Structure 1
Amino acid sequence: MKIENLTKYMLASCVMLCSSYFVAAHAKYPERPIRLIVGSAPGGGGDAVARVMAESLSKKLDTPIIVENRPGASGNIGELAVAHAAPDGYTLLFAYTGHVINPSLFKDPSFDTAKYFRGIARIGSPQSVLVANPKVPAKNLPDFISLIAKEPGHYSMASMFGTDQYVAAQALVHNQKLKVLFVPYKGNGPALIDVISGQVSAMINTVGVSVPFIRSGKLRALAIVDSKRSSLLPDVPTLQEQGVTGVESTAWYGLLAPVDTSDDVVAKLSHAVKASLDDAAVVKRLRNLGVEPKYLANHQFDKYIQSELMRWKEFFDKTGIVNK
């Protein structure tokens, strides 16, 4: 065999071997535990949903999925950890609405949301509720607004900067021209503890996490922060039903990966999310947390995120309610 032909043969063989190895490597994915990063503290609504999905996905993918909480900087600490992780499918982000809100709130979040991530799948949308400590003498939203108006600065609200609940609370105070002390927290879990104990007057929290405390009398529900009532709290009216418009908590949960993660890995993960959301037991657990499953596949989710980034930018430009 001529040297030229031998060289071509060796190169072709090398390409075939490398291609076979690449295909085999991805066909075996996942081969080890996957980390699911949550950018908030344990005990909140997003954390609860992340754990439900991690348990289900572990079964669908036949590998452990470990939830790792990285609270701080309005979720940016967790996002940064995933943005700079190896794009091998073993470090994923449990994302929520802050992912598309923070770019409008932070001048330099240390990464570009649109360039550092790619979507895996949207999971669903949670509802939120305005709750107060029972010692706050308000039985409904008009009572609460009246109390704050009579004693400006006396009442406080938990604030999780960068969340849709933060935006809704700011919008409520802004629209009603109220003066409230906002107390910052790294997540809904720690904030909820302080509202229950009475250290903070009120907060906007996810419905599912709040329901047990509302039913036990440890919290009082004042209003559903959505366009429709919650099936878990059917007797609690919405903000609009109580005369307040222009305030709504439009939220979602989803999974993201580092931007250079392969199409094969992303597709496998997206299909696993779809399979989980087709599971009646998983759907029941999510709905008990106040989350309505709303699956979007990876490419659809990417387009949705882009539209959400634009929508929130326009919202903040128009309202000017950013208040760090």
Structure 2
Amino acid sequence: MNRLSTALAGLLMAASALVAGFAAQAREAYPSRAVTLVVPYPPGGSADILARAVGAELGKRLGQPVVIDNRGGAGTAIGTKIVAGAAPDGYTLLLGTVSSQAMNPAMNKVAYDSLTDFTAISPLASIPFVLVANPAAQIDSVAALIARAKAQPDGLSYASAGPGTSNHLAAELFASDAQVRLLHVPYKGSAPALNDVIAGVVPLMFDLQATTLPYLKSGKLKALAVTSRTRSSLLPDVPTLSESGLAGYEVSAWFGLFAPAGLPAPILEQLNAAVTNILETPDMVTRLRQLGAEPQSGDPISYGAYARRESVKWTEVVKRYGLAP
């Protein structure tokens, strides 16, 4: 009996080691199926364009397709909530933005905690906004806009991707600094909002340089100012808002890759390395800069700290200017 028990115990130990080995191999074989990248905006906007560009290259490096899942609405809260509640296995990722991770939670009650519900993987890019007007509005400068807005409080409207989004807060910060009142017209994403500005339904919008450039070149929109600290190399004749009388005004949209909290370290390292490699390739750098975006890369710890600082910053801005609805 003792010999038999010893033999059985040995077999059980060997089987357990074999199962553990198979389990370890299974864990290491990430990814073994398609990865979903949730974009909390409708198709066609800057976030969508960036996600598709990076997602295609990420799929090549992972050896599995990266499927873009557009889940716009509620100022990015719908898509962001989906990722917050997903399994932290690396198969559901988020194209996070300053809106989803900092501005919207500062403005509205959202069903997620941007500080605790996510793992920051890597920054992707930063893009300045452009204050654009429909030419039919006959507003040729920031000074003219402010003068008309003061003469007609709430008489000028502006479009945004939704309450708490970056272009919404960019406009509200502008209105507060300029001491004017503008009428907010929210949409379910920047693409439909910009379409209505082009059509003349709404005269004004703060939209990202990446998506406004084609319409500025065609004359369908007029650029009044950029929101970056310095002039854009793609729009060198367009003044900054700081130059236009709002000293110190600066807002840019940032984009990054996030996963649900608790992402295993090996998968986190693999994804960060892949994204860093993508953003350092000359072709991707050129492509993003042509879109008006500045590529950014970094390690997960530094990027997570940056996202937390941005959350604190915009919470303070919302409180200081009384921007919450």
TM-score by length of 2: 0.93
Q: Deviations over 1:282-318 (max 9, x none)?
A: 1111111211111122222222222222222222232
* Cα distance in 1 for residues equivalent to 2:139 and 2:23: 62
Q: 1:4 deviation in Å? A: 7.3
* Cα distance in 2 for residues equivalent to 1:133 and 1:11: 75
Hey, what does 1:319 align to over in structure 2?
321
Contact 2:176 2:321 in 1 (8 A): no
**SS of structure 1 residue aligned to 2:42:** coil
2:239 matched to 1:237? Answer: yes
Q: 1:18 deviation in Å? A: 4.2
Hey, what does 2:66 align to over in structure 1?
65
Q: Deviations over 1:107-127 (max 9, x none)?
A: 3x1222222210111112111
1:204-223 paired onto structure 2 within 5 Å: 204-223=206-225
Contact 1:168 1:247 in 2 (8 A): no
**Once structures 1 and 2 are overlaid, which stretch shifts more, 16-25 or 51-60?**
16-25
CA change 1:266–1:10 in 2 (3 A) is: farther
Q: 1:8 deviation in Å? A: 6.1
Structure 2 counterpart of 1:267, from 258, 266, 269 = 269
Q: 1:22 deviation in Å? A: 3.4
- Which consecutive residues of structure 1, in runs of 5 or more, have no partner in the other structure? none
Identity of aligned residues (%): 37
* Cα distance in 2 for residues equivalent to 1:51 and 1:200: 28
Q: Deviations over 1:222-241 (max 9, x none)?
A: 00011111111111010011
Structure 1 counterpart of 2:166, from 164, 167, 192 = 164
CA change 1:143–1:55 in 2 (3 A) is: same
Q: 1:154 deviation in Å? A: 2.2
Contact 1:159 1:185 in 2 (8 A): yes
> What is the one-letter code of the residue matched to 1:213?
Y
> What is the one-letter code of the residue matched to 1:17?
L
CA change 1:216–1:12 in 2 (3 A) is: same
Contact 1:26 1:264 in 2 (8 A): no
Contact 2:227 2:250 in 1 (8 A): yes
Hey, what does 1:82 align to over in structure 2?
83
* Cα distance in 2 for residues equivalent to 1:32 and 1:174: 48
Hey, what does 2:305 align to over in structure 1?
303
CA change 1:212–1:310 in 2 (3 A) is: same
Pairwise CA RMSD: 1.8
* Cα distance in 1 for residues equivalent to 2:252 and 2:220: 26
Contact 1:165 1:249 in 2 (8 A): no
> What is the one-letter code of the residue matched to 1:278?
E
1:30-109 paired onto structure 2 within 5 Å: 30-98=31-99, 99-107=101-109, 109=110
TM-score by length of 1: 0.93
- Which consecutive residues of structure 2, in runs of 5 or more, have no partner in the other structure? none
Hey, what does 2:290 align to over in structure 1?
288
Contact 1:134 1:219 in 2 (8 A): yes
Q: 1:165 deviation in Å? A: 1.9
CA change 1:165–1:5 in 2 (3 A) is: farther
Contact 2:85 2:260 in 1 (8 A): yes
Contact 1:60 1:275 in 2 (8 A): no
CA change 1:6–1:104 in 2 (3 A) is: farther
Provide the aligned length of Structure 1 versus Structure 2: 322
CA change 1:10–1:164 in 2 (3 A) is: farther
